[in-house]
Copies of this chain bind each other. A is one copy, B any other.
Amino acid sequence: MHKIIEGGVCAPQGFKAAGVHAGIRKNKTKKDLSLIVSDVRAAAAGVYTQNLVKGAPIYVTQKNIADGYAQAVICNSGNANTCNANGIEIAEKMCALVEDAVGIKASDVIVASTGVIGQPLDIAPIENAMPALKSALSGDGSDAAAEGIMTTDLAKKEIAVSFEIGGKECRIGGIAKGSGMIHPNMATMLVFVTTDVAIAPALLQKALSEDILDSFNMISVDRDTSTNDTVCIMANGMAGNEMITAEGADFDAFKKALAAVTVYLCRAIAKDGEGATKLLECHVKGAKDKQSARTVAKSVICSSLFKAAMFGADANWGRILCAIGYSGADVDVNKVCVSLGSVKGEILVCKNGSGVDFSEEKAKEVLSEKEIDINIALGDGEACADAWGCDLTYDYVKINGDYRT
């Protein structure tokens, strides 16, 4: 079992982090440049957007961790460095600046950018901020790093857990950003995870690639798959456990702790969806297979109509049935049961594909809470899946109607 601890990405042994205001964003004070470093070279793995339009930093990061190792993450907010003619050059320059400032080889740096697409990223403010970024590096720096990668996020997203592998205490920490353009096909906006577990790069990649199928791939704010989605993990081995080089109990223990970190960050991202007032958590059970369960869960939390209904605390369950019906999953509509729940209780709204009587007053009370469960039983098998989303609100429109100008 794991327990939740303080420290974010600096909780694992041998990691430091920092975040500073470099002036990339117009805002005069918000931190917009973050750095995470490991004392030693770490096994590294990553998953990236499946959008054909990819941010330039993704190409550089893929190249830099192709050998399975990395030692630092640099990330700016305010500009995505995407669809720019000189994007690769700028991303490589960011890695070189890390090498100059802290002595970690440019080819061991994970680089990421988030913000507006299609505006050239000026390297000057980043270059000028490197001394401050270096001197801010500390074991307490996770908070600042989490802030430095935020764009329209309202809440910092940070978590760490400790657990045991072979009698050794190990830790995993993570920070994330993501609020709009969230509909990952492979990974969500930006997530950086650190761990002091000793694990071979191939196993680290396997653990991450399997994890995201049930974590970051199961959230959606607006069905817009970003060009810059990146989840990277560094494992520096400083916990002193016996190196994980094959599947087995140690690998499973690591995966379980990793899932605790990633699912926490998923819920945090969905809850902080642009303009969101509510976290929607859809639990599908009784599906004929895992993929059907995932497809149904994700379709429901993606429905604009249902999301708007949740904003209005309106138990308009027909929109849930509608979203199940067009999801593409093979479902027997006549077996579908749906209930809606929150801390205020649970109400059955649909049984075997048809409506049941329920108290609208009670439904309003249940749906006026901040975290809503949508429980769907398909009655078709044993598979289940969860997905996370948020309501669709006036503020989503406001934020995205004038984000750039």
Contacts and interface: CB of A to CB of B under 8 A. Distances in A.
A397 B394 contact: yes
Contact of A397 (B119, B224, B308, B364): B308
A267 B46 CA distance: 44
Contact of A118 (B302, B350, B401): B350
A3 interface: no
A326 B225 contact: yes
A241 interface: no
Interface stretch (A59-67, A140-148, A309-317): A309-317
A292 to B, nearest CB: 12
A224 B325 contact: no
Interface of A: 50-54, 80, 82-85, 116-120, 180-181, 185, 222-227, 302-305, 308-309, 311-312, 314, 316-319, 321-326, 331, 333, 350, 353-355, 360, 364, 392-394, 396-405
A404 B316 contact: yes
A392 B397 contact: yes
Nearest to A54: B325
B53 A333 contact: yes
Contacts of A54: 325
Given A353-B83, A397-B392, A117 B318 contact: yes
A405 B312 contact: yes
Contact of A404 (B52, B116, B314, B401): B314
Given A224-B304, A394-B398, 11 more contacts: A52-B325, A53-B324, A54-B325, A83-B350, A224-B303, A226-B322, A305-B400, A309-B401, A314-B403, A314-B404, A394-B394
10 contacts: A53-B324, A53-B333, A117-B318, A117-B322, A185-B326, A227-B321, A227-B322, A227-B325, A308-B397, A311-B401
Nearest to A86: B354
Contacts of A226: 322
Contacts of A319: 117, 224
Given A53-B333, A225-B326, A304-B223, A321 B401 contact: no
A404 B319 CA distance: 11
Contacts of A353: 53, 83
Q: Which of A308, A312, A360 has the most CB of B within 10 A?
A: A308
A400 B181 CA distance: 21
A117 to B, nearest CB: 3
